[in-house]
Amino acid sequence: MAEKTTGSSKRKKAAESPASEKTVPADPAPAETVDLPVAEPVAEEAVPPVAAEAPSEENIDLPQPRRSVAFIGSECYPFVKTGGLGDVMYALPKALVKQNCDVKVILPRYKCIPWEYQEKMVYRGEFYMDLCSDGRSFYVGIMEYVWNGVVYDFIDNEDFFRNGNPYTNLVDDIPKYCFFAKAALAALNYMNWVPDIIHCHDWQAGLVPVYLRSVFSGSPVASAKVILTIHNLRFQGIYNIATVKYWSGLPDYLFDYAVLKQGADDANMFKGGLTYADMITTVSETYAGEIQSTFFGEGLDAHLRFHSGKLRGIVNGIDTELWDSSTDPILACRYGISDAIEKKKENKLLLQEKLGLEKDSGKFVIGLVSRLTDQKGLDLVDFILPELIDGNTQIVVLGTGDSRYENSFRYYEDAFRGSVCSNIMYDEGRAHQIYAGADALLVPSLFEPCGLTQLISMRYGTVPIVRETGGLKDTVLPYNEYDNSGNGFTFDRYEAWLLLDAINRAKTLYFTNRERWDKMVIRDMEKDVSWENSARKYRQLYLELKPNY
Ligand code: ADP
């Protein structure tokens, strides 16, 4: 059926929101006095209720019982991806299907989603939903796409999701993700699909647990248990209370220090979600500990310590079908474990040729694939980069971000032409070529909740050089020259000279003991970086959380 035209164009910018003019009940009572947003369907077709599935012959060998899970998040590969969250929203549901989970992924239908996916979406229904504190009503369309056993439901409203990038600025993003969080829950009610678990991701879905346990508390979807996963605590969705209160339409009692309030007059959408989530997870065990400290806690360390009883760390994996050097369609020269040592040299030559670097498979090529922001330790790289240029080392950067770093890497490309290549762009294909063609990958992050680039690089036989923080610490075992073990080179304190030392240790091994280096390449490729183990842990968590039937 053809797509319905988006209805409401009633949205105003947050800055214009007349929150202060609204009369908010002085002491609003919880759920029952608030209009339940169980949407009135106006779809042309009734949506059939989804029956609980009995185990079929196909899934009889899968772990029992089956669990149904709704993923709610702001990005998902291949529809829209700006970083690791997009990878996880794609790969974890796929891995959970293999663990006998019935997964629906709920996403915004951004205009920037490529047409090849938009055209395959099927109209699932539409309704109108109250959102703001003045009861304004907004169109919610649902477009569906089924792929790899996962159902993707896209929440449609052109006014909110018309930008080319999912994240623009908080003035737009706060209303956008208030709408998205509420519409996602209303859509589950509308589709009559009440999952056992609602699994929310990052601040953009932070209001989901808050809505679920307040304005939705008397509706069918409230029987689900809710998990909130922290992929990066740095971004929290903080804005003044008046605006968040206006756009979310949430009652006054939630704008309290225990839930949404922060500082003198701000509301923090992530904080509210953490309060009401039945379980909080984050993407590595080390980061789960780190965020309870002042340095890593981003102002929420005390809140997280208070809720630490329901906080767990489960390390991310990568999709090993998507990231497979033996089948990767982007690579002109594919390789497996048996021919990696030779074929990686060919990939290096192809990369050097493509990027205008001196063609020589004997050079030590260091890759850096990253958002160019302070988090990623780029001030350290910036500081020591000239020290790396010795005629035998080449540096390939791929990333976009802060102009400070973009310009500095452009400068180095100019200053060290033939040895440094700075690709200031977002390019999936080029990322694959760097993972395959580089000898080492740099991840010197200030903090790193999990990090995926070090996992991808190991899978492609590219030795990671990382700082011992968060998931980097949990996934990269340092090279031990005494027993010839380990997966990469690491350093602990956030100091430029320690990074330089780690790179020099890697270079020394590469140039003086290639046999040992090559063994590390093979060890890295053999390391299990798949989602399987972690998907099992998530499933276990889903089983622990019994729905409130
Ligand atoms: P974060 O989510 O903090 O950005 P992660 O290491 O968790 O960092 O995930 C980064 C993901 O984004 C990886 O899949 C990486 O390959 C990809 N990526 C980052 N920058 C670029 C870029 N400029 N072009 C292509 N892919 C990129």
Both 135 and 276 in one domain: the answer is yes
Given a contact cutoff of 8 angstroms between Cβ atoms, the answer to whether 109 and 156 are in contact is yes
Residue 344 falls within a domain, yes or no?
yes
Both 495 and 443 in one domain: the answer is yes
Residue 535 has pLDDT above 90, yes or no: yes
Residue nearest to atom 26 of ligand 1 (CA): 428
Beta carbon of 206 within 6 Å of any ligand 1 atom: no
Both 297 and 370 in one domain: the answer is no
Residue 359 has pLDDT above 60, yes or no: yes
Angstrom distance (rounded) from CA 21 to CA 408: 48
Both 313 and 403 in one domain: the answer is no
Angstrom distance (rounded) from CA 409 to CA 111: 31
Weakest-pLDDT range from 159-163, 376-380, 396-400, 503-507: 159-163
CATH number of the domain residue 401 falls in: 3.40.50.2000
Residue 329 falls within a domain, yes or no?
no
Residue 49 has pLDDT above 50, yes or no: no
Residue 26 has pLDDT above 60, yes or no: no
Both 379 and 524 in one domain: the answer is yes
Weakest-pLDDT range from 6-10, 92-96, 130-134, 370-374: 6-10
- Please tell me the distance between residue 366's alpha carbon and the centre of ligand 1 in angstroms: 16
In ligand 1, which atom is closest to the CA atom of 87? 14
- Pairing mode of beta strands 311-313, 137-147: unpaired
Which pLDDT belongs to residue 23? 28
Q: What is the pLDDT of residues 170-214, one digit of tens each?
A: 999 999 999 999 999 999 999 999 999 999 999 999 999 999 999
Among 370, 430, 448, say which to mutate for ligand 1: greatest number of ligand atoms within 8 Å of CB: 370
pLDDT-based confidence at residue 348 (cuts at 50, 70, 90): very high
Residue 326 has pLDDT above 50, yes or no: yes
Both 78 and 208 in one domain: the answer is yes
Residue 366 has pLDDT above 70, yes or no: yes
Number of domains in the chain: 2
- Please tell me the distance between residue 275's alpha carbon and the centre of ligand 1 in angstroms: 29
| Mean pLDDT rounded to a whole number for the chain | 90
Both 522 and 539 in one domain: the answer is no
Residue 24 has pLDDT above 50, yes or no: no
Closest residue by Cα to residue 521 from 453, 435, 419, 431: 435
Beta carbon of 87 within 6 Å of any ligand 1 atom: yes
pLDDT-based confidence at residue 148 (cuts at 50, 70, 90): confident
486-511: average pLDDT: 98
Residue nearest to atom 9 of ligand 1 (CA): 84
Which pLDDT belongs to residue 548? 79
Both 256 and 396 in one domain: the answer is no
Within 8 A by CB and 6+ apart from 472, the residues are 443, 445, 448, 451, 454, 464, 466, 490
Tokens encoding 428: 């999936």
Given a contact cutoff of 8 angstroms between Cβ atoms, the answer to whether 109 and 141 are in contact is yes
Rounded to 5 degrees, φ, ψ at 24 are: -105, 130
440-443, strands of its sheet edge to edge: 420-423, 393-398, 364-369, 440-443, 463-467, 489-491
Residue 487 has pLDDT above 70, yes or no: yes
pLDDT-based confidence at residue 159 (cuts at 50, 70, 90): very high
Which pLDDT belongs to residue 22? 31
Beta carbon of 88 within 6 Å of any ligand 1 atom: no
Which pLDDT belongs to residue 61? 75
Residue 517 has pLDDT above 90, yes or no: yes
List the domain range (segments joined by +) for residue 449. 337-528
Within 8 A by CB and 6+ apart from 28, the residues are 34, 251, 252, 253
Which pLDDT belongs to residue 83? 87
pLDDT-based confidence at residue 276 (cuts at 50, 70, 90): very high
Given a contact cutoff of 8 angstroms between Cβ atoms, the answer to whether 14 and 239 are in contact is yes
Given a contact cutoff of 8 angstroms between Cβ atoms, the answer to whether 48 and 196 are in contact is no
Both 209 and 251 in one domain: the answer is yes
Which pLDDT belongs to residue 31? 32
Inter-CA distances, 381 with 69, 395, 397, 497, 500, Å: 41, 11, 11, 10, 9
Within 8 A by CB and 6+ apart from 360, the residues are 352
pLDDT-based confidence at residue 546 (cuts at 50, 70, 90): confident
24-37: average pLDDT: 34
Angstrom distance (rounded) from CA 243 to CA 92: 34
Tokens encoding 78: 């291949």
- C-alpha torsion angle, residues 81, 82, 85, 88 (rounded to 10): 40
